[in-house]
């Protein structure tokens, strides 16, 4: 897919992954501009609807990233998020969205280096999948 620059919508937890992104920034660690961060207070507040909307609007990938198990500031938000991701990975393929386009990761507040690495891996994974059909075809 020559010249394909995916758009990835990332819902990141304020307390960890967002802080890690900040750390990556202050440490001058670059990460691909394909990833558009949306800061949320916890992965537990990411309604499946947000993810579905992003895909239907043509996002090539969606990332949800929060605190490591045991570190969620609201105790269990990330465990609930994990179930919702599991659920969506069952539903998305029937609508033609490869389940690999939806990614869940745990990136802690001090993981600035990991953040920039994971974002690079993420972009290459999505690039390999090619552009989302929702971008190319009319969606009702």
Tell me the β-bridge partners of 39: 12
Structure tokens at 15: 């307390």
Cβ–Cβ < 8 Å for 100, 125: yes
| Residue 74 sits in the site that holds ligand FES (CB under 6 A) | yes
| Site membership for ligand FES, residue 108 (CB under 6 A) | no
| Total residues at interface with ligand FES (CB under 6 A) | 13
CB atoms within 10 A of CB 3: 4
Count of residues near other proteins by CB under 8 A: 41
The reply on whether position 77 binds ligand FES by CB under 6 A is yes
Q: Which does 128 bind (CB under 5 to 8 A by kind): other proteins, ligand FES, none?
A: other proteins
Minimum CB–partner distance for residue 30 and other proteins (Å): 18
- Which of 19, 34, 43, 105 contacts ligand FES by CB under 6 A? 43
Among 53-61, 66-74, 83-91, 123-131, which window interacts with ligand FES (CB under 6 A)? 66-74
Measured CA distances, 128 to 6, 59, 69, 97, 104 (Å): 10, 15, 29, 14, 18
Q: Is 66 in the site for ligand FES (CB under 6 A)?
A: yes
Nearest to residue 32, comparing CAs of 41, 24, 40? 24
70: left (phi over 0), alpha (psi -120 to 50) or beta: left
Q: Which chain residues interact with ligand FES by CB under 6 A?
A: 13, 15-16, 42-44, 66-67, 72-74, 77-78
């Amino acid at each position: 897919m020559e010249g394909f620059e995916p758009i990835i919508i990332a819902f990141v937890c304020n307390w960890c992954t967002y802080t890690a992104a900040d750390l990556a920034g202050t440490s001058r660690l670059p990460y691909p501009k394909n990833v558009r961060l949306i800061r949320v207070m916890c992965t537990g507040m990411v309604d499946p609807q947000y993810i579905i909307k992003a895909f239907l609007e043509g996002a090539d990938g969606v990332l949800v990233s929060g605190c490591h198990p045991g570190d969620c500031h609201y105790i269990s938000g990330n465990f609930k998020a994990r179930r919702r991701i599991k659920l969506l990975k069952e539903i998305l393929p029937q609508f033609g969205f490869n389940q690999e386009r939806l990614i869940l990761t745990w990136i802690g507040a001090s993981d600035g280096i990991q953040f920039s690495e994971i974002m690079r891996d993420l972009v290459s994974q999505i690039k390999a999948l090619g552009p989302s059909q929702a971008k190319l075809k009319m969606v009702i």
